Amino acid sequence: HVERATVDGPSLSFGLVNASFRDKGNMSRKLHARRIEGIDKNIWVEFSQLAADYKAVNLGQGFPDFSPPHFIQEAFCKALNGGFSKHQYTRAFGHPNLVKILAKFFSRIVGREIDPMEDILVSVGAYQALFCTFQALIDEGDEVIIVEPFFDCYQPMVMMAGGTAIYVPLKPREGCGPVLSSADWVLSPEELASKFSPRTKAIVINTPNNPLGKVYQQEELHMIADLCIKHDVICISDEVYEWLTYDGTKHVKIASLPGMWERTVTIGSAGKTFSATGWKVGWAMGPGHILKHLKTVHQNSVYHCATAAQEAVAVGFQREYDVFGTEGSYFQQLPKHLHEKRLRLADCLKSVGLKPVLPQGGYFMIADISNLNVDLADPSTKDEPYDYRFVKWLIKEKGLATIPVSAFFSPEHKDEFQKYIRFCFVKEDSTLQAAEDILRQWSDSK
């Protein structure tokens, strides 16, 4: 089995949506609201379509091309066959079975009592948890500090809420020689401190980071926490890859640091946790005095998400609670499985002349492409950043899909980060092998 990008799902709807934007029928007035100006392009829509058009071997969009563990598939089937109630509405802010076990599970991790009814909101994937967070907490004139590289939706979500994004980049540590690990990418404490102003309402961090794989260390989190407390700022911590860390690296929740629970919203995803991205179950967790505002957005937009999927995730978390810390835990098995794939991909990339940055966490790896010297003659992409052009060339000419890393930087800093592309390694060995074959063949033909 080799995962090649396909045309179902996003590609079809992309065509329809675009057609309807172009065709205004007999309406002459401006149709769209100001809040969506400048955010109509989307990296996932664009590159998933292109990968599908060329049936490329797909190391682009981040999802496993293998099934979720059996116990959770069985739980879903059981939920579907479990009578009428699993097919009907459930509690708006989270199916009771799910919020109860999430609270129990994460109380143990965070080291405090989490209230299932007050401190958790279950959402349609981490995406909707993020959307509710920004809509609920950010007003016009508010500034939100975003650490780059960042998962691309943070910026449009801040903007749609009326806020202003203020960027601060993680950068390769100066004088550290070749950049070999995501741990070499660091924040400058002085630069970060300089971004806080009286208008700063929140900061967004993502650990383990997509696309870099950086896992913030305790000292780095303390530095961020001190600034949040000093300036009375909310911390939004996107931790969807929290179970995926390698080589003994520990994931630390910033919400567990002193003084941080009451000002932190932690975002999670069952899609990432149980290798079931299509289920779209996510959550926001934090103190009731913040969460109640997210619930206001949720109850007036989505109201609640699929009952059967929530029930299945609840069963999955109960199982993980029971086997936590043992070899039977999926939260141990998945990173162990991915560790091998990560080393394999890194070796392959090195052998064809790319310079991979080994991630400490997550399931992506970025690689420096600057010494490849490919002649990108395609005139249709000539005004685009170098990494976009390279990725398009790789899809069209070689049949391999990846993602350009400058997509994870702000317009201000994009230019400085055009020499990396992102590979996803949560893939079957056969898919990784197919990618390896493509890269090796190309390298041999040079």
Q: Taking CB positions, which residue lies at the least distance from ligand GLN? A: 62
At closest approach, how far in Å is the CB of 70 from ligand GLN?
A: 24
Q: Which does 61 bind (CB under 5 to 8 A by kind): ligand GLN, ligand PMP, none?
A: ligand GLN
Q: What is the DSSP string of 102-169?
A: HHHHHHHHHTSPPPTTTSEEEEEHHHHHHHHHHHHH--TT-EEEEEES--TTHHHHHHHTT-EEEEEE
Burial of 303 (0-12, 13-18, 19+ CB in 10 A): exposed
Nearest to ligand GLN of 17, 77 (CB atom): 17
Distances in Å between the alpha carbon of 441 and those of 89, 436, 437, 446?
Answer: 53, 8, 6, 9
Site residues (CB under 6 A) for ligand PMP, limited to 39-68: 62
At closest approach, how far in Å is the CB of 62 from ligand GLN?
A: 3
Burial of 195 (0-12, 13-18, 19+ CB in 10 A): middle
Query: Residues in the site for ligand GLN, rule: CB under 6 A?
Result: 44, 61-62, 210
**Binding of ligand PMP at residue 271 (CB under 6 A)?**
yes
Q: Which residue is associated with the tokens 């961090």?
A: 205
**Binding of ligand PMP at residue 360 (CB under 6 A)?**
no
**SS3 state of residue 89:** coil
At closest approach, how far in Å is the CB of 44 from ligand GLN?
A: 4
**Binding of ligand PMP at residue 387 (CB under 6 A)?**
no
Binding mask 144-183 for ligand PMP (x = CB under 6 A): -------x--------------------------------
**Binding of ligand PMP at residue 206 (CB under 6 A)?**
yes
**SS3 state of residue 420:** strand
Q: Which does 44 bind (CB under 5 to 8 A by kind): ligand PMP, ligand GLN, none?
A: ligand GLN
Nearest to ligand GLN of 125, 169 (CB atom): 125
Dihedral (CA of 303, 270, 118, 292) sign:
negative
**Binding of ligand PMP at residue 348 (CB under 6 A)?**
no
Q: Which does 269 bind (CB under 5 to 8 A by kind): ligand PMP, ligand GLN, none?
A: ligand PMP
8 A C-beta contact, residue 188 and residue 131 = no
Nearest to ligand PMP of 14, 44 (CB atom): 44
Q: Which residue is associated with the tokens 């065509």?
A: 15
Q: Which does 185 bind (CB under 5 to 8 A by kind): ligand PMP, ligand GLN, none?
A: none
Site residues (CB under 6 A) for ligand PMP, limited to 233-262: 238, 240
User: Of 339, 343, 367, which Cα lies nearest the Cα of 353?
Assistant: 367
Angle between helices 70-80 and 307-323 (to 10 degrees): 140
Nearest to ligand PMP of 169, 271 (CB atom): 271
User: Of 183, 137, 136, 141, which Cα lies nearest the Cα of 166?
Assistant: 141
Residues interacting with ligand PMP, by CB under 6 A? 62, 125-127, 151, 206, 210, 238, 240, 269, 271-272, 277, 282
